[in-house]
Amino acid sequence: MAARGQRSAKRRSGCFLVMFSGVKPDKRSKVKGITQLGSRSSSSSSHSSNSNTTRSNSSSGSGGSSSSSSNNKGGGCKSHSGSSSGSSSGSGSPPAGTPPHTQMASHESLNSESKSSSLNSKLGHESGGSPSPPKSACSSTSTTSTDHHHTNHQVSHVLTATSKMTVRDGSRTLRPDEPPLVPGEQLEGTAREVTYLCPYVGPKKGTLSVTNYRLIFRSPETDPPFELEVPLGVVSRIEKVGGANTSRGENSYGIEIFCKDIRNLRFAHKQENHSRRMVTEKLLQYAFPASHKLPFFAFGYNEQYQERGWSVYEPIAELKRQGLPTESWRITRINEQYELCETYPAVWAVPAAASDNDLRNVAAFRSRGRIPVLSWIHPESQATITRCAQPLVGVSGKRSRDDEAYIQHIMDANAQSHKIFIMDARPSVNAVANKAKGGGYESEDAYQNAEVQFLDIHNIHVMRESLRKLQEVCYPHIDNSHWLSNLEATHWLDHIRCVLSGALRIADKVESHKTSVVVHCSDGWDRTAQLTALSMLMLDGYYRTIPGFAVLLEKEWLSFGHKFAQRVGHGDDRHQDADRSPVFLQFVDCVWQILKQFPHAFQFTEDMLITILDHLYSCLFGTFLYNSERERIEKEVKTKTVSLWSLILSNKADFENPLYSANTKHHVLFPRTSMRHLCLWDKYYCRWNPSMRQQEPVHIRYKELLHVKEQLEKHVDELRKELAARQTHDSPRVASAIV
The pLDDT tens digits of the residues spanning 139-149 come to: 333 333 333 33
Calculate the average pLDDT of the chain.
Answer: 80
pLDDT at 247: 63
At residue 714 the predicted structure's pLDDT band, cuts being 50, 70 and 90, is: confident
- Average pLDDT on 636-665 reads 95
Does position 382 have pLDDT exceeding 80, yes or no?
yes
Closest C-alpha to 65, from 22, 24, 25: 22
Q: CB of 236 within 8 A of CB of 569?
A: yes
β pairing state of 214-219 and 235-241: unpaired
pLDDT at 692: 79
**Amino acid in position 602:** F
SS (H, E, C) 648-714: HHHCHHHHECCCCCHHHHHCCCCCCCCHHHCCCCHHHHCCCCHHHCCCCCHHHHHHHHHHHHHHHHH
H-run or E-run covering 315:
helix 315-321
At residue 710 the predicted structure's pLDDT band, cuts being 50, 70 and 90, is: confident
Q: pLDDT tens across 584-615, in order?
A: 999 999 999 999 999 999 999 999 999 999 99
Closest C-alpha to 91, from 163, 161, 169: 169
β pairing state of 15-18 and 51-54: antiparallel
At residue 355 the predicted structure's pLDDT band, cuts being 50, 70 and 90, is: very high
- Average pLDDT on 94-118 reads 37
At residue 64 the predicted structure's pLDDT band, cuts being 50, 70 and 90, is: very low
Sheet architecture: strand order including 373-377? 373-377, 384-387, 516-520, 420-424, 450-454
Q: CB of 516 within 8 A of CB of 411?
A: yes
Say whether 590 sits in a helix, a strand or coil: helix
pLDDT at 567: 97
CA-angle at 368, arms to 362 and 373, nearest 5°: 50
How many CB atoms sit inside 10 A of residue 7's CB? Answer: 18
Q: Which residues are catalytic?
A: 521
Does position 512 have pLDDT exceeding 70, yes or no?
yes
Least reliable range by pLDDT among 152-166, 504-518, 529-543: 152-166
* % of the chain surpassing 90 pLDDT: 63
Q: pLDDT tens across 525-564, in order?
A: 999 999 999 999 999 999 999 999 999 999 999 999 999 9
At residue 98 the predicted structure's pLDDT band, cuts being 50, 70 and 90, is: very low
pLDDT at 610: 96
pLDDT at 538: 98
DSSP state string for 219-244: E-SSSSPEEEEEEGGGEEEEEEES-T
At residue 713 the predicted structure's pLDDT band, cuts being 50, 70 and 90, is: confident
At residue 165 the predicted structure's pLDDT band, cuts being 50, 70 and 90, is: very low
At residue 460 the predicted structure's pLDDT band, cuts being 50, 70 and 90, is: very high
- Average pLDDT on 294-314 reads 95
Q: CB of 371 within 8 A of CB of 518?
A: no
φ and ψ of 123, to 5 deg = -165, 140
Closest C-alpha to 29, from 605, 562, 585: 605
pLDDT at 201: 87
Q: pLDDT tens across 396-414, in order?
A: 999 999 999 999 999 999 9
* Contacts (Cβ under 8 Å, ≥6 apart) of 346: 315, 333, 335, 336, 337, 338, 629
pLDDT at 132: 34
At residue 10 the predicted structure's pLDDT band, cuts being 50, 70 and 90, is: very low
